[in-house]
Amino acid sequence: MMPDVPGGAADDVPLWEQEHEEGERLQKVLARIGYGSRRVCEDMISAGRVTVNGDTAVLGKRVRPLLDEVQVDGVPVGVEPGLVYFLLNKPTGVVSTAADTHDRETVIDLVPGDVRVYPVGRLDMDTSGLIIITNDGALTNAVTHPSTGVEKEYLAEVECPPSGVSPGSIRRLREGVELDDGMTAPAQVSQPAPGILRIVIHEGRNRQVRRMCETVGHPVTRLSRVRIGTITDPNLRPGEWRELTLDEVRKLTASAGGGRGSRLRR
């Protein structure tokens, strides 16, 4: 008969696999991703502000970073390691793809290359402005899916008389215009200066703002995106990037309807 082995079969399981199965203590995870000291995180848990997979968490709860969904105050904050979030002010002439068959400069070339990332949505090559670059697929889907209604705000310089764009044209843009791929949803449109339109949409059709303006007789001569949901930064110069803060990512996730399970990490 074989002698008993202390610890049983578990002794044959590598330590990292045991930790993966058991998970980490929730307060430790929350502290690691930026919610404060462990004591602060324990107070958050005790106050009932934290849930794991939909259930209110208790002190001592363990979570598995790759499997469990953690929410604080109803907003997913997830704990998957290795996620990054860059905000880039894309210059004109740069393409919004992860790679380009014509060897043109891409938005990926302008941010750190330590991890594999991709742009959230696209800006055409002649359009400048804010674009988020990340490796968080869930957040990407949440921000780009039309059903979440995440707003994108643009400043468009258009061809028009010295007096500016007519009230009738602005009204048409607000109500929606017929494009070759269907009617656009109502947009928020204002004219802060003659020939400058501020346009807010939540759809993501190809070259949509340019096509909308051309349809009402005012072709765009210059276009820049200045806001994505809750994210804006007027001090970020073309070609510059920075990391999004934990608070910015949380607010963007909330504006996208909870982020569809996005696992945020700072």
Q: How far apart are CA 78 and CA 144, in angstroms?
A: 19
Query: Which listed residue (43, 124, 126, 136) is catalytic?
Result: 124
User: Which residue(s) pair with 217 in the sheet?
Assistant: none
Residue 162's CB: how many other CB atoms inside 10 A?
Answer: 6
Q: What's at 128, amino acid-wise?
A: S
Q: How far apart are CA 177 and CA 34, in angstroms?
A: 45
Residue 55 appears among annotated catalytic residues: no
128 secondary structure, DSSP code: E
* CA-closest candidate to residue 122, choices 150, 146, 101, 94: 94
Backbone angles phi, psi at 185, to 5 degrees: -75, 155
Q: What are the b/e assignments for 106-133, b being 16+ CB within 10 Å? A: bbbebbeeeeebbbbebbebebbbbbbb
* CA-closest candidate to residue 246, choices 91, 105, 77, 37: 77
Residue numbers annotated as active site: 124
